[in-house]
Amino acid sequence: MFKFISGKSLFVRTDITKSQEIDGLVEKTLTEYGTVDILANNAGVAVLKPIEECSLEEWDRVHNVDLRGLWYLTRAVVKTMKEKRYGKIINIGSTTGVVSFQNQFVYAAAKGGVVNLARELGCELAPYNIDANAICPGIIETPIYGIIGVSMKVKENAAGFLKEIPLNG
């Protein structure tokens, strides 16, 4: 049904907001491997601002990276998965997509879309033996914290959340 290719990787620099680059990525992947068994959608950017301070450009950037690019990439590989009647689609959402946090409406709307897209794809693609799921991690300290200027309040909340993790991550 599918083959495991050990030790072989392919790097294709791709701007997730550009459909032509996504098409190129999928074409190169299919040329190199002949198929796509698993798609992990893991692109994301965020804007943390009150609604009246968020610009249309910021809204569009977050949604183009976090949701639109994910949709287009998924759409580009589904045909291959349907033909062989097998596939796994993993969308990386966020707890912010299902739980409210202050000043995160843009990111929450995009990641909520990511979660709901996975749910709908799961229903639509099940007859083709294609699974679609979303993973919604909580707060993870990454370089994006400094880039988006995460407030001390958010960092304090993160510390509180971390105390609740049994393994003390």
Q: What is the largest CA-CA distance in the chain?
A: 52
Which residues does the annotation mark as catalytic? 107
CB-based burial, 70-97: b 16+ in 10 Å, e otherwise: bebbbebbbebbeebebbebebbbbebb
Report how far apart, in Å, the C-alpha atoms of 42 and of each of 32, 65, 89, 131, 137 are: 22, 10, 11, 17, 11
